Structure 1
């Protein structure tokens, strides 16, 4: 299954589902990987991100998490993502 980035429609190779949170200075990207064989080295993720974004939009952190917090309707709970970052 190919994963496409939601806004650009570009193919995101082996990325899996992800969520971004903007902070005052730079975005933080959290990636959910459903299976261990979908592993992508952080260096490859950084190169992929640099190719697609402007320098000021480059994420200050890329975090791999076990599961994206979701509501009962399937939407990502960004409040929980923000609270996890503050801890």
Structure 2
């Protein structure tokens, strides 16, 4: 089974003009996401794998899922480092 990701606890998000501000209450940090990062964030309302995220992003932006998997994986690793997402399994 592939690794699943989900949003961390104590994290709030606000969308302003196609950009997202992710507020981490425990760390007192704010992280800004662009529209694509915001869509990925929205999809993480539910636990998802890199492959599931890539498939949905591919549908939204009309690109092959395989083309987006590496970028999504890198993005999720960065969010993990920032404490904004966590492994679900």
TM-score greater than 0.5 by the shorter chain = no
- The structure carrying a bigger helix percent of its residues is 2
- The structure carrying a bigger strand percent of its residues is 2
Q: RCO (CA 8 Å, sep 6+): is it higher in 1 or 2?
A: 2
TM-score with structure 2 setting the length: 0.30
TM-score with structure 1 setting the length: 0.31
